[in-house]
Amino acid sequence: MPRVFSGIQPTGNLHLGNYLGAIRNWVLMQQGNECLYCIVDLHAITVRQEPQALSASTREVTACLIAAGIDTRASILFNQSQVAGHAELAWIFNCVARLGWLNRMTQFKEKAGKDRENASVGLYAYPNLMAADILVYRATHVPVGEDQKQHLELARDIAQSFNHQYGVEFFPLVEPVITGPATRVMSLRDGTAKMSKSDASDYSRINMTDSPDAIAQKIRKARTDPHPLPGDPAALAERPEAANLVNIYAALSNSDAAAVLSAFDGAPFSRFKEKLAELATQVIAPMTGEMRRLLADQGYIDAVLRDGAGRARSLAEPILREVHRIVGFVQG
Ligand code: AQP
């Protein structure tokens, strides 16, 4: 069975982009694959996190994933810091990856911004840890949103370089799985920026914990243009905000932009937004309810993570032993 790995940061404000771009595909990929889903808390601390908020967010993401349909018996759900092998392999990859490769990573440039000298070393080396997350299990398929494509290309370069340097065929070349009409959900305030947890404006995103009223209000206030909806997706090329809302509708209704536009050809945004808010609430509200129920039992959430981490460790240990042998570390 193909082995799938993917991760999500417990950095608060889990949003519709995370759900449509990643989580929903994680649920679907449970059919016919061996899946590991990881809450990447080591990645989260590459920027400053309040300890209590980090713990709360880790449990909240866990609850959201279970509520979305991750089956914790079939799949392995755990938080990264409980499996030390991720950090260990990341160190080895720090010694494989070249500075020049990391210098090209656009996410570092975006996140470090102008204050590059003050960014943490961890933020810079983030893609090496991400490569280790996947390869410590020799996973081959990684469902992600568009924004992670460059990091996965780096994971392939690292695997190839390790194999070449040590003359082995040990690490597989990972395949990104980027599917669906919403691989890059954009901000509700700016159709050219991606919907993001760290956007200062809460109106830029629909959070997985938003109430139906909040969802409706955010969609009503979402930026659009003065024209009615066209009948053909090609006419959305220069209308990023309209295209974003249509793609969100398509993803939430399991259809595509062409089908959505044929149903709303000529409709004003007021009508379309009303329908979109109903649809978004229909999909999100049951998950939010289930998340709340799960979060009331912290012991259960922690037990799920402990069990997942134990199973993840048993998969990683023999692979790490082999890595030690390949690299030449003496194993007493
Ligand atoms: N807007 C998005 N559209 C589609 N997919 C998205 N993902 C994130 N944003 C969108 C996908 O969600 C998964 C988990 O992402 P993450 O939490 O690990 O990291 P991120 O990409 O840094 O998320 P954010 O929301 O953009 O956080 P900040 O604001 O901290 O940068 C990934 O598969 C990602 O592709």
pLDDT tens string 282-297: 999 999 999 999 999 9
Rounded to whole angstroms, the Cα distance separating 3 from 140 reads 6
Residue 183, pLDDT score? 87
- Say yes or no: CB of residue 149 within 6 Å of ligand 1: no
Q: Are residues 143 and 178 in the same domain?
A: yes
Q: Note whether residue 104 is domain-resident.
A: yes
Going from the C-alpha of 68 to that of each of 244, 264, 287, the distances in angstroms are 22, 28, 6
Residue 45 lies in a domain: yes
Ligand 1 proximity of 24 Cβ (cutoff 6 Å): no
Q: Which residue has a Cα nearest atom 26 of ligand 1?
A: 196
Domain assignment present for residue 194? The answer is: no
- Rounded to 5°, angle at Cα 45 from 152 and 162: 35
Same domain, 234 and 139: no
What is the distance between the alpha carbons of residues 68 and 259, in angstroms, rounded to a whole number?
A: 25
Domain count for the chain:
2
Question: Would the pLDDT of 114 be above 90?
Answer: no
Residue 78 and residue 129 share a domain: yes
CA of 25 to the centre of ligand 1 (A): 14
Of the residues 5, 18, 153, which should be mutated to test ligand 1's pocket, given the most ligand atoms within 8 Å of the CB?
Answer: 18
* Averaged pLDDT score across all residues of the chain: 96
Task: Report the CATH number at residue 317.
Answer: 3.40.50.620
Residues of the domain holding 235: 202-293
Question: So what's the pLDDT on residue 13?
Answer: 83
Q: Say yes or no: 131 and 216 in one domain.
A: no
226 domain residue, yes or no: yes
Does the residue 191 lie in any domain?
A: no
Average pLDDT over residues 134-162: 96
Both 76 and 172 in one domain: the answer is yes
- The answer to whether residues 233 and 289 belong to one domain is yes
Closest ligand 1 atom to Cα of 11: 30
**Residue 217 pLDDT level (bands cut at 50, 70, 90):** very high
- Specify whether 110 is located in the same domain as 137: yes
Distance 18 CA to ligand 1 centre (A): 5
Q: Is the pLDDT of residue 12 over 90?
A: no
* Same domain assignment for residues 93 and 157: yes
In a domain, 61, yes or no: yes
User: Do 315 and 269 fall within a single domain?
Assistant: no
| pLDDT, position 225 | 92
Secondary structure (DSSP) of 259-299: HHHHHHTT--HHHHHHHHHHHHHHHHHHHHHHHHHHHT-HH
